[in-house]
Structure 1
């Protein structure tokens, strides 16, 4: 039997190759149709992008950057620590007795300012200062008052010269409280002070050029007569800003 020659072998191989090529063309997807559906002019890029990842390969996704600068902190709706409202009364009058002395103490507060007057019928002292955080500190000529406010009272210490006393002064309303009158009488400066307690007890002095005299009885809202001169005592609303 004759062996086929090399040309017969080549011819048979060519026939097989042609048949395999025809089968490949019939089963392969059309890249032209895919490009047309994608609607892109660059056929090379979509082909590469549409290729599935190789087996075992991993992919990574880069998250979009977040603009942290534009994120504002949520409001707390509360005031900063230590910024609580001041409990000190905006307007209040206190009057009471200096313990161990028997003299009277009157204290008035208005919008953070404070004035006070002490009188025992022989010695007197006018003081001024501040009111904050339910405490008051007032100073005068050789005198000092420090007191705490609360429960409708002012409680504290009074010093006049070297003498010291404690006092408790409850809240009062007009006509009780502190009164003051000033005038110039025949060239002399006159300053009168009165303290009126609940129940009507009162005490005061009139100082004429630094010489004290017993004050005439005060009827709140009415003038008083001092050595033939009429004085009109006023409550603290009239003089607290000027003392």
Structure 2
């Protein structure tokens, strides 16, 4: 009986060891996965309103008013073209205008048309002749006359009493007479006289009376108005 004591003690120890191993196997903790926390909501809270976007700012400057051109004062304007090849006279009255362009030899043209409220005018004549001009201040007209194959820029001044535009129509010795004269401020006269349509330099007139002698007969050249 004394020999079985140590064996029983050893057996008891083994049983205790096996029991502890079995207990650890059944009660061991497994690692748990990390809890996923919901992300904070990105929605705005019910009490918060989105601020309205600012209205677009109009950066375009307002249109600038265009200054009105100078109206053409009534009167007679005379002078020479810039190339000094011809003389130009324009008579303005009641928003109408008549012009005469003449080289004093064989080229001439009578033109007419309306004067615009903005101070511009466009006149037309026979054979496609034209004249465009506009007021420069109150005593000048600046433009271009196109007669025949030539275009001639000009700047002419409002005429003084001694200068102006004259015209005569009559019959002398059975021939039809048509004459046009431009009397310039310095007293120079430029004109053409036609006998039955044939041009020649016009004889001088008296600017005070318009008297002119053609083939021994006295005629009267009268100031031209629209």
In the superposition, the TM-score normalised over structure 2's length comes to 0.64
Which residue of the partner structure matches residue 198 of structure 2?
211
* From 83, 99, 108, the counterpart of 1:124: 108
Distance apart, 1:209 and its partner CA: 1.6
Q: Highest CA radius of gyration, 1 or 2? A: 2
Runs of 4+ in 1 over 4 A off after TM superposition: none
Distance apart, 1:189 and its partner CA: 2.0
Residues of 2 paired with 1:105 and 1:116: CA distance?
A: 7
1:177 and 2:158 correspond? no
CA-atom RMSD, angstroms? 2.2
Equivalent residue pairs, number: 156
Residues of 2 paired with 1:113 and 1:231: CA distance?
A: 27
Residues of 2 paired with 1:128 and 1:187: CA distance?
A: 29
Gaps of at least 5 residues in structure 1 are: 1-84
In the superposition, the TM-score normalised over structure 1's length comes to 0.60
Q: Deviations along 1:183-237, whole A, 9 cap, x unmatched?
A: 1223432111111111211111111221112111121114111112221011124
Which residue of the partner structure matches residue 190 of structure 1?
177
Which residue of the partner structure matches residue 218 of structure 2?
230
Whether the 8 Å contact between 2:168 and 2:219 is mirrored in structure 1 is yes
Whether the 8 Å contact between 1:204 and 1:215 is mirrored in structure 2 is yes
Whether the 8 Å contact between 2:91 and 2:97 is mirrored in structure 1 is yes
Bigger fraction of residues in helix: 1
Q: Which has the higher contact order (CA 8 A, sep 6+)?
A: 2
* From 91, 100, 111, the counterpart of 2:83: 100
